[in-house]
C-alpha cells in the first residue's frame, strides 16, 4: 500500500470492505466496512508478502485489501462461533 495518500488508503479500504461484505453475504454499515477494509489492507499485504506476491496500482491495492478483508471476516466468524 505504499505510494498512496491517506485519503486514497481510506477509499481503498472502503471499497475493499464493501466488496468483502457482499462476498461474505453480510450486512454491515459504512463505518464497519471502512474499518474492515483498512485492517484487511494490512492483513492482505502481510499475507501477500508471506507468499512472495505483490500487487501494484490502485486495482492491485483494492484486490490485496479485499482478500485481506475477506480473510478478516472469516477469522471473526470463526471466533464468534467458538464463543
Q: How confident is the model at residue 3 (pLDDT cuts 50, 70, 90)?
A: low
Helices (H), the chain: 6-23, 30-51, 57-82
Does the pLDDT at position 29 exceed 70? yes
> What pLDDT is attached to residue 31?
94
In which residue are the cell numbers 505483490 written? 54
Q: Stretch 20-48: mean pLDDT, rounded?
A: 94
State the average pLDDT for the chain.
92
Cβ distance 27 to 21 under 8 Å?
A: yes
Q: Stretch 56-71: mean pLDDT, rounded?
A: 95
Cβ distance 38 to 9 under 8 Å?
A: yes
Q: Stretch 23-36: mean pLDDT, rounded?
A: 93
* Nearest-angstrom CA–CA distance, 37 and 60: 14
Domain ranges for the chain, please list them: 6-82
Provide the whole-model pTM.
Answer: 0.89
Amino acid at each position: 500500500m505504499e505510494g498512496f495518500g491517506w485519503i486514497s488508503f481510506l477509499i481503498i479500504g472502503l471499497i475493499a470492505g464493501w466488496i468483502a461484505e457482499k462476498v461474505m453475504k453480510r450486512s454491515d454499515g459504512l463505518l464497519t466496512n471502512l474499518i474492515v477494509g483498512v485492517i484487511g489492507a494490512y492483513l492482505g499485504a502481510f499475507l501477500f508478502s508471506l507468499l512472495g506476491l505483490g500487487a501494484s496500482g490502485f486495482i492491485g491495492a483494492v484486490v490485496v485489501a479485499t482478500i485481506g478483508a475477506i480473510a478478516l471476516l472469516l477469522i471473526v466468524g470463526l471466533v464468534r462461533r467458538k464463543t
